[in-house]
Structure 1
Amino acid sequence: MSRIIVIGAGPMGLAAAHRAANLGHEVDLVEADSVPGGMAAHFDFDGLSIERFYHFVCKSDAPTFALMKELGIQDKMRWAQTSMGYYMNGKVHPWGDPIALLTFPHLSLAAKIRTGLQMFLTTKRKDFASIEALTARQWLEGGSGREVYGKMWKRLMELKFYELSDDISASWIATRVKRIGNSRRSIFQEELGYIEGGSQTLVDALVSAFVAKGGRLHLSSPAEKVKTENGRVTGVTAGGRFFPADAVISTVPTPLISKLVPDMPADWLQKYDAIRNIGVVCLLFKLKKSVTKNFWINIVDPNIEIPGLIEFSNLRPIEDRVVYVPYYMPTTQPKWRWTDKQFIDEAFGYIRRVNPTIQQDDMVGATVGRLRYAQPVCEPNFRERLPPIQTAISGLQIADTCFYYPEDRGVAESIRYGRMMAEAV
């Protein structure tokens, strides 16, 4: 059996380390943060344990269910009837089912029929190879029409990707539509899931099982360099300490690879460096009253510079009303440098615009989380641009969330890839 070093204790790293330990390997898991979990980690929000970045479960997330069963926590899975809305022209409109589509006041009948048909057929497709060369805009305009893209999608894409909004893969957006569209009780009722106690329940169970198998978790130990000799990995320097290894699994963002693995051939490093990412400033509000009845609201308004609100307490029962407000953007945007207070003031103003009955004293608390590498920018034919997971250096595997393509970031894909990498050693 091998000595394995796993870099990064997010869901993918935890899944890889857990699987490798179960297979009998000697495993050290190194993590820069003081807590495990990565984007799934919780924090104490004035007495409430909750994720800094929102998560939900869909019915197609089979790897999550299988791992929860293996860990003995399958009874912690919960499902809730949820709904989506569109805020447009000063009003929240129902969205996401045939009746909502037919009664939506801002699309022509022809546009409603076209978008309904495109979204339905997307949920039934087995793969998206035929649209792989298209951008999201080309695919949506070709299927639903320019009216639908202009009114329903254009502003959302621009507020997430800014100048990169026309570079996004059709396969990537279609996969998102399919995942959400297939998480339903019926065509009239969306149903999303959460883990009782939040994602921390899964993180804690993974850590406990990993340690019980002899695995070693090293927190506050940022990986500094993957060391090699004669084209083969020999170990990792992390937190000022050298960990010898026969194999290394890296799950950190690809923009960090050039510094972390300087011995990688130059043509490989160029591929990692070419992968673009955008950041996220994710605000979390605790309120006295609900904003709307919806879990998710898309916002299309020229005077509101956020693509939506996620009222998490409409999914997971929480005493207070909890709302996430994500600001996705390339970190080159001037707004990225705003203070926490600037973001909080602006976002709370938007919440009050969506629901004017909310007053200033209805805000119980607010906090801000930031992540520089939050969302890979997946262009058409993105898979062709990715280097293989098994690198040119023997014994070294590298993957981050962009390797899930065309799937988006998610715990289920993290589990699948983490386990796959451990089994490949």
Structure 2
Amino acid sequence: MKIVIIGSGLAGLSAGYRLCKANEVIVFEKDPDIGGMAASYCLEHSKNKYFIERYYHHIFRSDSELLALIRELELEKQMLWLEAKNAYFVDDKYYPMNTPVEILHFSPLSILDLVKLGLLVLRVRLIKDTEPYDQIKAKDWILDTAGKSVYENFFAPLMKSKFGDNAEKVSAAWLIGRVKIRSDRGKEGEKLGYMRGGFNALIEALAGEITANGGEIQTTKEVTEIVVKDNAVQGVVVGGDFIACDAVISTVEPKVLDAITGGKLGTLHDSLINISYQGTACALIGLDRQLMKDGNYWLNIKADVPFGAVIEHTNYLPFEDYGEHLVYVTSYFQDEKSPLWAQNEENIIDSYLKGLEKMFPGFSRKEVHWTKLYRRIDTAPVYEQGYLKNVLPFAAGSSGLYLAGMFSSTNYPERSLNGSVKAGFEAAELLMKNK
């Protein structure tokens, strides 16, 4: 059976990995590099060469499919579970947020508010089914559960930095999923998983298995059409050439899928055009010295700066692995009119560095070795109230067409590397079942 997979992110490669031993698999990737949102830069510092993700990633203890895949690929020896300190920057002050004692010192909230916040987290941990919360706005649920002060002084800035003008539209299901995945911590704080040497090892291992079993991965090859006739997949068009196949697994964004199928997916058409995606402008900066001297890995921000978070990778992974300090500065944006998409790379980097200078008085641009900027207009869905009705099925309706990606049920209410791996597996398994 000849199967075309569109996209070489974790969903596409995971599907290809599951299918390549018994089928002819071809993966088409429009970009020069494989990996999608999990792609890496390859950098050199003095004599040290290393890979680092274009967009920060880590693993949670609950990521069972991803962890099983890592074991299956014999990469488990590269797994590390490390303390990931986080803090909240509010009104020019840093508040560590790792232990119950530290959280009690978060002065923007009163003691009563902190109790309400704690009860909200406890309530979230007890929720087994998030589906009923899909029809409720996160803002309304927080106001009803913990009150106005907790919403305005704690959650609203975080939601604004993640969803911009759409912050008040997101569902309570997303919020509950987010809190559940980030509240699994002990007395000493949160531990997150990372692959020493970077997730490039996972991407390359998956790609290596596909090609070792006779599959192909072709980069800079954009699929411009999925050809469907009599409600059955006939093939794809790539670079003007028709390539026949028996099935297609598409991992592209919903509106792109709608375009390359000519809007002919029947009842799925409305869902495809109704799922809103947002973009990301994520800068990676190489520095001479540590930026956050208190050892924080993740800093959420409520401040007048053009980014919503600072992530110091080398406050999480050993500095010795890289030979320089690595810091991500990132922001989401909602449409093509945003300066983060419309402006050139130099202007965005300049605005980010100005923001760092404002937040960190001791920071100097002279300490910057280099900067990289990774931008995409279609990073992830905006999980609006009622999003569940638009979640795309693994089988698209047309015979031989399957879907897997950030839009899949495995990535709602909160997306993750594990959700994308699981989506790829689900689509592959369903394809083989229907073979």
**CA-based RMSD:** 1.7
- C-alpha contact 1:3 1:26 (8 A) present in aligned 2: yes
SS state at 1:189 partner: coil
Paired residue type of 2:11: M
2:333 maps to 329
- C-alpha contact 1:18 1:209 (8 A) present in aligned 2: yes
Greater Cα offset, 255-264 or 87-96: 255-264
Q: What is the TM-score with the length of structure 1 in the denominator?
A: 0.94
Whole-Å separation in 1 of the counterparts to 2:213 and 2:306? 48
Whole-Å separation in 1 of the counterparts to 2:260 and 2:393? 17
2:4 maps to 5
- C-alpha contact 2:336 2:342 (8 A) present in aligned 1: no
SS state at 2:296 partner: coil
2:323 maps to 319
Whole-Å separation in 1 of the counterparts to 2:391 and 2:106? 40
The structure-2 alpha-carbon separation of the partners of 1:364 and 1:53, relative to structure 1 and needing over 3 Å to count, comes to: same
Paired residue type of 2:36: G
Paired residue type of 1:323: V
Structure 2 segments unaligned to the other structure (5+ residues): none
Whole-Å separation in 2 of the counterparts to 1:407 and 1:63? 17
Match 1:42 to one of 31, 40, 43: 40
Offset at residue 263 of structure 1 (A): 6.1
Paired residue type of 1:305: P
Q: Percent of counterpart pairs with the same letter?
A: 28
1:242 maps to 242
Q: Aligned runs of 1:11-410 on 2, under 5 Å?
A: 11-22=10-21, 24-47=22-45, 48-182=50-184, 184=185, 186-262=186-262, 264-292=264-292, 293-301=295-303, 303-317=304-318, 318-335=322-339, 336-403=341-408, 404-410=410-416
- C-alpha contact 2:392 2:407 (8 A) present in aligned 1: no
The number of equivalent residue pairs is 420
Greater Cα offset, 83-92 or 387-396: 387-396
The structure-2 alpha-carbon separation of the partners of 1:145 and 1:45, relative to structure 1 and needing over 3 Å to count, comes to: farther
SS state at 1:401 partner: coil
Offset at residue 374 of structure 1 (A): 0.6
SS state at 1:127 partner: coil
Offset at residue 342 of structure 1 (A): 1.6
Offset at residue 355 of structure 1 (A): 2.2
Offset at residue 338 of structure 1 (A): 1.6
Whole-Å separation in 2 of the counterparts to 1:175 and 1:388? 20
Paired residue type of 1:418: G
Offset at residue 161 of structure 1 (A): 2.1
- C-alpha contact 1:227 1:236 (8 A) present in aligned 2: yes
Offset at residue 17 of structure 1 (A): 0.5
Paired residue type of 2:348: F
- C-alpha contact 1:168 1:379 (8 A) present in aligned 2: yes
- C-alpha contact 1:254 1:400 (8 A) present in aligned 2: no
SS state at 2:161 partner: helix
SS state at 1:347 partner: helix
Offset at residue 412 of structure 1 (A): 0.9
Q: Deviations over 1:196-246 (max 9, x none)?
A: 111101001101111112211111111111112211001112233332211
Offset at residue 353 of structure 1 (A): 2.6
Whole-Å separation in 2 of the counterparts to 1:347 and 1:136? 29
Whole-Å separation in 1 of the counterparts to 2:349 and 2:44? 16
1:414 maps to 420
Greater Cα offset, 153-162 or 207-216: 153-162
- C-alpha contact 1:220 1:239 (8 A) present in aligned 2: no
Structure 1 segments unaligned to the other structure (5+ residues): none
Greater Cα offset, 91-100 or 200-209: 91-100
Offset at residue 386 of structure 1 (A): 2.8
- C-alpha contact 1:283 1:366 (8 A) present in aligned 2: yes
Q: Deviations over 1:151-207 (max 9, x none)?
A: 12222322332221111011112111111212x3x2332101111111101001101
SS state at 2:20 partner: helix
Whole-Å separation in 1 of the counterparts to 2:29 and 2:259? 16
Offset at residue 46 of structure 1 (A): 4.9
The structure-2 alpha-carbon separation of the partners of 1:230 and 1:125, relative to structure 1 and needing over 3 Å to count, comes to: same
- C-alpha contact 1:294 1:314 (8 A) present in aligned 2: yes
